[in-house]
Amino acid sequence: MPSFGYVPALTKLAKGDLDFDTAPIRVKAVMSNTTCGSQRTAANLAAFTTIDEYNGAGYTEATLAGVSVASDLANLRCEIDFSDFTFGAAVSAGSRQGVGLLIYYRVDGTAANDWPIAFVDSSSSPFQGTGAGLSVQINAEGLLQVS
């Protein structure tokens, strides 16, 4: 599964309807049964066949903060960065391995209203809670890139 932006969210970005500086952006860790990595045209979270959100004890979805949007002229792209985040301080193993991150705009917590922004694939390095913190350290080139 590649990492990508969902087509409806890219349309919102192009129309100016998505402002990372003010948007309530959340992240769900998803496990190996997810269809989030293949349903690129999903307009809201209810459109996914299976989200398969991580289910290890102590897990909670994360709220992204500390946004920074910058031009990377050398690589001809825009980089959208956030502060590192955690899914909990003591997260146990889930029923399946984690394989990605579903980044979404939280409208009101209802799947039919909240809409996906991007999928970050980590299937080549699956993750699993061990009872310690389940944290994400974001690459220096940002969590999301637009080119």
| 3-class DSSP string for the chain | CCCEECHHHHHHHHHCCCCCCCCCEEEEEEECCCCCCCCCCCCCHHHCCCCCECCCCCCCCEECCCCEEEEEHHHCEEEEECCCEECCCCCCCCCCCEEEEEEEECCCCCCCCCEEEEEEECCCCCECCCCCCCEECCCCCCCEEEC
Residue 112 belongs to domain spanning: 4-146
Q: pTM for this one?
A: 0.94
- The domain tally of the chain equals 1
Task: Per-residue pLDDT tens, the chain, 147 aa: give them.
Answer: 568 999 999 999 999 999 888 889 999 999 999 999 999 999 999 999 999 999 999 999 999 999 999 999 999 999 999 999 999 999 999 999 999 999 999 999 999 999 999 999 998 899 999 999 999 998 888 888 888
